[in-house]
Amino acid sequence: MQKIKTALFGTGFVGRVHLEGIRRVGFVDLCAIGEPQIEKARALADEFGVPKAEADYRRVLEDKEIQAVHVCTPNFLHFPIAKEALQAGKHVICEKPLATSVAEAQELVALATSLNRRNCTFHNLRYYPMVQHMRRMREAGELGDILVVQGTYSQDWLLYDTDYNWRIESKQNGRSRCLADIGSHWCDMAEHVTGQRITTLCADIQTFHKTRKKPKGPIETFAGKTLRPEDYEEIPIDTEDFGGVVFRMGERTRGVFTASQVASGRKNGLSIEIYGTKCGVAWNQERPDELWIGNRNSPNQLIIKDPSLMQPAARSYADLPGGHSEGYDDTFKQVFRRFYRSIQDPAAAPEYPQFADGLRQLTILDAEFESNENRAWVDVPEFKG
């Protein structure tokens, strides 16, 4: 069978993880890179044997042989690039957030549907093996009725006012930074694992640094160095450092989470705890192979990822035997494998988050901002796209 030809747009932090992940799917060929930093793109193409690197992604879209693209650029480019890619007949995997507004996301959902293209918003964190195990425990009724969902996604990489990145600026990032960047992963996981939707919420959003020191030169130049006053300019900040959200999932289930990029010492601290009428489960991204199960009348358990002991429906998300860790970059392989299988087999169900899931997260974000502005509870609407 012929391999599926694909392309990668954006080769920063996550673009490289996509590249390596694509290489792990045997029936897919990465044929081109689109990246304006062309020297960097060429070096990467050489290193990984990718035949073509273009500064302008549009040149890549013109190639009729390329069937799919990965959009790994700063957020404000997701909508225009994903739209052009769909119009060029490509299947699209787009990094989160899918777009910078609900209206844009709705347009992408509608376009992908009308053109019958496979589409994925990259909420990959659902696909850690132990997250899938929790989901299948819930489906099997082992948690009982869910009473409370709680947790956080906390990082510290933007703690200081000298920390800078394109995400700081709403022009490149969109209105929401912390809640869109990491809070959306938490909400996606909470809804995926519980099988319930956040129906109403109350949010408190804070920008601790009202101004930040933006380096005058390329940010990489200053990485790890102490900035001198002449190296930066002080600019006002219009994206948030922190969000705290209380929410309801329907009539009975209650929840609360925080998202923070200024939590000293927390590097990539996503934790989620789900308390049901039969037991509780707790999972932490920095110890991904472990799952805590809390019992009222028997000893608590700490189970270690082992496919032979996992819920049968979760086993296909673990490729290695027990005791062999599987982490962040393995979630990429799990999504890609299922996405590309669904291109090969038009009858295959999409076992990955789609553009509709990206739209869902933008809808939640809108409700969070409305709630914060009005100091009020806000219902989260259901959009069909």
Ligand X SMILES: NC(=O)c1ccc[n+]([C@@H]2O[C@H](COP(=O)([O-])OP(=O)(O)OC[C@H]3O[C@@H](n4cnc5c(N)ncnc54)[C@H](O)[C@@H]3O)[C@@H](O)[C@H]2O)c1
Q: Give contact residues for ligand X (rule: CB under 6 A).
A: 9-15, 34-37, 57, 72-75, 77, 95-96, 122, 124, 166, 181
Nearest to 92 by CA among 61, 63, 62, 65: 61
**Angstrom distance (rounded) from CA 318 to CA 321:** 8
Tell the smallest beta-carbon distance from residue 217 to ligand X (Å). Answer: 15
**Minimal distance in Å, beta carbon 73 to ligand X?**
4
Least distance between ligand X and beta carbon 59 (Å): 11
β-pair type (200-206, 146-154): unpaired
Please state the closest distance from residue 20 (CB atom) to ligand X, in A: 13
Residue nearest to ligand X according to CB distances in the complex: 12
Cis omega (within 30 of 0) for bond into 97: yes
What are 376's two structure tokens? 């009020």
CB nearer to ligand X: pick between 73 and 106: 73
The tokens describing 207, both together, are 């920008």
Judged by beta carbon, residue 275 or residue 336, the one nearer ligand X is: 336
Q: How many CA atoms within 13 Å lie on the side-chain side of 244?
A: 5
Q: Minimal distance in Å, beta carbon 34 to ligand X?
A: 5
Q: 80 or 322: whose CB is closer to ligand X? A: 80
Distance in Å, CB of 10 to ligand X, minimum: 3
User: In angstroms, what is the minimal distance from the CB of 17 to ligand X?
Assistant: 7
Cβ distance to ligand X smaller for residue 193 or 249: 193
CB atoms within 10 A of CB 312: 9
DSSP 335-366: HHHHHHHHHH-TTS---S--HHHHHHHHHHHH
Q: Considering beta carbons, is residue 242 or 332 the nearer one to ligand X?
A: 332
Neighbours of 285 (CB within 10 A): 21
Per-residue three-class SS string for 201-270: EEEEEECCCCEEEEECCCHHHHCCCCCCHHHEEEEECCCCCEEEEEEEECCCEEEEEEEECCCCCCCCEE
Q: Which is nearer to ligand X, 215 or 294 (CB)?
A: 215
Nearer to ligand X, 100 or 253 (CB): 100
